[in-house]
Amino acid sequence: GAVVSQHPSWVICKSGTSVKIECRSLDFQATTMFWYRQFPKQSLMLMATSNEGSKATYEQGVEKDKFLINHASLTLSTLTVTSAHPEDSSFYICSARDRRVSTDTQYFGPGTRLTVL
Amino acid sequence: AQSVTQLDSHVSVSEGTPVLLRCNYSSSYSPSLFWYVQHPNKGLQLLLKYTSAATLVKGINGFEAEFKKSETSFHLTKPSAHMSDAAEYFCVVTYYGGSQGNLIFGKGTKLSVKP
């Protein structure tokens, strides 16, 4: 149980285009999902917290107009990188917290590798 | 404030020998502590977690970790390394019942396993 999927697993796009990444909890409902960014050989940095039915909460320094987050249902959150540029190239990982379990455990997706040319 | 320090950026062991990955934490509250493993170009997999129950926590794949409050440590160990254990390991701290988005990651330790 507690499986989180991401789609796509990798994407290459031209500079100036927008890219949407989906995060799904496959066998549980998640009222809260999280989006992280990981640069090569570095740790994960929390970008934003996505709440079902409300606006996402962004960490300091993360542009909310650049990284649009929509948590449309209890099993789906999307991250859209708008007008992507090469510096947005990174590994994006989502995680979800199971609403049935009152712990801090987050279940992570496999990640999406974004390369902006 | 909460923080976590992984003392070694890279650990190299021979197959069949013990593994020790060190982690120290700082927390003003009763922490929850996790170890995650990340294989190349993959997401994170939960190895084990400590949430104020038994101080010796057993995880998957033969890993275990001991919570030592007096030393503020949560080191990860395995008696015998396997080639498939080669990966990046992250020690993570949070505080129980805290607000959302409060996972704090260490910088990671890359484990290499030599044949």
Best mutation target, A59, A104, A114, to test chain B (most B CBs within 10 A): A104
A77-117: pLDDT as tens digits: 999 999 999 999 999 999 998 877 766 678 899 999 999 99
Tell me if the bond preceding A8 is cis, omega within 30° of 0.
yes
Q: Give the residue with greater pLDDT, B95 vs A55.
A: A55
Chain B residue at shortest CA distance from A36: B101
CB contact under 8 A, A105 and B43: no
Question: What percent of chain B is modeled with pLDDT above 70?
Answer: 91
Q: Give the residue with greater pLDDT, A1 vs A80.
A: A80
Burial label for A41, CB within 10 Å (0-12, 13-18, 19+), is exposed
Round the average pLDDT of chain B to a whole number and report it.
Answer: 88
| A11 to chain B, closest Cα gap in Å | 13
d(CA A114, CA A40): 12
70-109 in B: which are within 8 Å (CB) of A? 90, 94-96, 98, 100-103, 105-108
Amino acid B95: pLDDT: 61
- How would you classify the pairing of strands A10-13 and A112-116? parallel
| A10 to chain B, closest Cα gap in Å | 10
B9-38: pLDDT as tens digits: 999 999 999 999 999 998 767 788 899 999
**CA-to-CA separations, B93 to A25, A116, B65, B110, in angstroms, rounded:** 23, 32, 14, 18
Quick check: B99 pLDDT over 60?
no
Q: What count of CB pairs under 8 Å joins A to B?
A: 60
Amino acid A117: pLDDT: 94
Quick check: B82 pLDDT over 90?
yes
Q: Give the residue with greater pLDDT, A117 vs B97.
A: A117
B-chain residues near A60 (CB < 8 A): none
Amino acid A40: pLDDT: 79
**CA-to-CA separations, A40 to B16, B40, B98, in angstroms, rounded:** 29, 11, 29
- pLDDT, average across residues B91-109: 74
Residues 6+ apart with CB under 8 A from A63: none
Quick check: B62 pLDDT over 70?
yes
Quick check: B96 pLDDT over 80?
no
Amino acid B77: pLDDT: 98
What is the DSSP code string of A58-116? Answer: EPTT--TTTEEEEEEETTEEEEEE-S--GGG-EEEEEEEE-TTS-S---EE---EEEEE
A2-45: pLDDT as tens digits: 889 999 999 999 999 999 999 999 988 888 899 999 887 788 88
